[in-house]
Amino acid sequence: MNPREPHLLGHKPGTGPFTVYGTEIGSRLLLGTALYPSPQIMADAVRASGAGIVTVSLRREQARGRTGERFLDLIRALPVAVLPNTAGCRTAREAITTAQMARELFDTAWIKLEVIANDDTLQPDLFGLVEAAEALAKDGFDVFPYTTEDLGAAERLVGAGCRVLMPWGAPIGTGRGLANPYALRTMRAYFPEIPLVIDAGIGAPSHAAQAMEMGFDACLLNTAVAKAGDPVSMAEAFAKAIEAGRAAFVSGLMEQRDMASPSTPVAGTPFFDLARQP
């Protein structure tokens, strides 16, 4: 499929199930497993969210030693698919090595690929990202790349073999929502058949609902739930927001107007001059 073909631009994405690399996922909410007050609260939040996939940082858990092993056992006991990630990697080579280790540890070809360019914004290094994606796809990985809304990089990633794209909404952990909705809408129209997951920057359930109303296939979030006053209740709130946003998109949102349009038509309605009534 060529995403440049005119008849595909503006094509409404499928309204069927959320499927990535041939696997149907029961929920459009993906949840991170870091920053929670305790492992048990994390597990409770995952269950409350109904998330279909959780992400796990291999580098972070390795640093925990034996505590990390217990944490991974808890993750494996959850009724969800595990998506290991290469969080913290700064070069393509580092990300490739981490991915290979994750495949051995989790016995999965799935990898959320992160190659970070800047410590202040945690923006993806698009050059390193494409390099690593090409190498990992050739090595049999199913790559979930954390990227920006840059269409050129997205084309390169799809060309490298990525069958899903994960553009950021805003920098990781900022909670600012969709910083560039115009570019994200353009990306959605440009890749109508590629699953698109908003990854990073989501801070409130309303942000997630907005992304789903725009036609994105899913949202991945972590900090907004983990750092909430009540992570379990917040996980439930996000699950409901994503479900509502998706239902609104599938149902067909009304078009915005520049001028008012009465909900009750006035044509044919009788008018009476009450001032002249006796």
What's the pLDDT at 5?
38
pLDDT in tens, 7-17: 333 445 555 68
Instruction: Give dist(CA 94, CA 208) in Å, integer.
Output: 31
Alpha-carbon torsion angle 106, 107, 112, 113, nearest 10: 110
Closest by Cα among 192, 194, 173, 177 to 119: 173
Residue 73 pLDDT grade (very low, low, confident, very high; cuts 50, 70, 90): confident
What's the pLDDT at 120?
85
- The answer to whether residues 183 and 149 touch, using CB atoms and an 8 Å cutoff, is yes
> If 0-12 CB within 10 Å is exposed, 13-18 middle and 19+ buried, where does residue 215 land?
buried
**DSSP E strands, 157-256:** 166-167, 197-199, 218-221
pLDDT in tens, 216-240: 999 999 999 999 999 999 999 999 9
Structure tokens at 63: 């640093």
Global pTM reads 0.86
Q: What are the angstrom distances between the C-alpha of 43 and each of 15, 32, 78, 91, 105?
A: 30, 11, 7, 31, 20
**Residue 2: is its pLDDT beyond 60?**
no
112 is known as an active-site residue: yes
Candidate list 12, 112, 138, 227, residue with the active-site label:
112
What's the pLDDT at 6?
35
**Residue 242: is its pLDDT beyond 70?**
yes
Closest by Cα among 31, 80, 34 to 58: 34
Instruction: Give dist(CA 102, CA 180) in Å, integer.
Output: 32
Pick the range with the lowest mean pLDDT from 99-103, 167-171, 269-273: 269-273
